[in-house]
Chains A and B, each alone.
Chain A
Amino acid sequence: DVKVTQSSRYLVKRTGEKVFLECVQDMDHENMFWYRQDPGLGLRLIYFSYDVKMKEKGDIPEGYSVSREKKERFSLILESASTNQTSMYLCASSTLSGGAWNEQFFGPGTRLTVL
């Protein structure tokens, strides 16, 4: 059974803290993604990675960074958490066919609250 796991389901942090969200996939996918999901705004892409040590900005990268040291692991880092980063964070992995994305496999999500 294919799986994408995320390090925490719920996380509470304080403003200014450094936050690490980790994601692991066991499907040997080259491509991994971080989204945030907010009511009424749908899913918005923060960053994605198409190979180890490679990354590309999504639509809302400000305030975030990422790390991909191993193929199966993709980390999202909030350098200095702020209250407007309170959100549901979703990790996904996928493959490409002919330059277009196939289905994405999602983790269960991390609900982050920044106080």
Chain B
Amino acid sequence: SQQGEEDPQALSIQEGENATMNCSYKTSINNLQWYRQNSGRGLVHLILIRSNEREKHSGRLRVTLDTSKKSSSLLITASRAADTASYFCATVPFSGSARQLTFGSGTQLTVLP
């Protein structure tokens, strides 16, 4: 099964509202990464948060990490129509094969003008 699972699978909001997406995972991680994918395009890295960090900001994005609950959230404030995209979390475990960057199946965010 996948390491990172996003919730909800789909989210529809009005422009100007905040959007929150959650990611849960199962094993201890070194870091967790959030990506955005516009329809039919490649993924764009948004934020990387390490296991010893609790919160990171980048512009209108805020990511939190709760390692005790094995969960992370991505908050987009004052959303815009251009934020419409799929958002993925990816987890990097502490140990094991370095190949194990595991992506979840994503949250599809639609921001209505």
- A contacts, CB < 8 Å to B: 4, 35, 40-43, 45, 48, 50, 56, 58, 88, 90, 92, 94, 96, 98-109, 111
How far apart sit A4 and B43, CA to CA, in the bound complex (Å)? 11
How far apart sit A99 and B101, CA to CA, in the bound complex (Å)? 12
Is A40 within 8 A of B105, CB to CB?
yes
How far apart sit A88 and B2, CA to CA, in the bound complex (Å)? 19
29 A–B contacts from the bound complex (CB under 8 Å)? A42-B2, A42-B88, A42-B104, A43-B88, A43-B103, A45-B99, A48-B99, A50-B98, A58-B99, A90-B42, A90-B43, A94-B101, A100-B94, A100-B98, A101-B31, A101-B101, A103-B33, A103-B45, A104-B33, A104-B35, A104-B45, A104-B90, A105-B45, A106-B42, A106-B43, A107-B42, A108-B42, A109-B41, A111-B40
Please, which residues of chain A bring their CB within 8 A of the CB of B98?
50, 96, 99-101
| Shortest CB distance B99–A (Å) | 6
Please, which residues of chain B bring their CB within 8 A of the CB of A88?
40
B19 interface contact, C-beta 8 A: no
How far apart sit A111 and B42, CA to CA, in the bound complex (Å)? 11
| Shortest CB distance A67–B (Å) | 18
Please, which residues of chain A bring their CB within 8 A of the CB of B92?
100-101
- B contacts, CB < 8 Å to A: 2, 30-31, 33, 35, 40-45, 48, 88, 90, 92, 94, 98-99, 101, 103-106
Q: When A99-B98, A101-B98, A103-B48 are in contact, do A42 and B103 touch as well, CB less than 8 Å? A: yes
Interface of A, secondary structure class, is strand
Is B101 within 8 A of A104, CB to CB?
yes
| Shortest CB distance A95–B (Å) | 11
Beyond A43-B43, A56-B99, 7 additional contacts (C-beta under 8 Å) are A43-B103, A48-B99, A90-B43, A100-B92, A101-B31, A102-B48, A104-B90
